Amino acid sequence: MFTLQIEHSIKDFDMWKAAFDRDPVNRAASGVESHRIGRPVDDAHYVVVELEFAAPEQAEQLLANLKAKVWNSPLAAPSLAGAPQTRIIESAG
Query: In this predicted model, what pLDDT tens digit does every residue of 4-43 receive, in sequence order?
Result: 999 999 999 999 999 999 998 999 999 999 999 999 999 9
Residues paired with residue 85 on neighbouring β-strands, in sequence order? 7
Average pLDDT value for residue range 83-90: 96
What's the rounded Cα separation, in Å, for the pair 93 and 86?
A: 21
pTM of the model: 0.92
What's the rounded Cα separation, in Å, for the pair 40 and 19?
A: 20
Q: Measured between alpha carbons, how far is residue 80 from residues 30, 35, 38, 72, 77 in Å?
A: 22, 19, 15, 10, 6
Phi, psi (deg, nearest 5) at residue 30: -85, 0
**Single-letter residue type at 61:** Q
**Single-letter residue type at 85:** Q
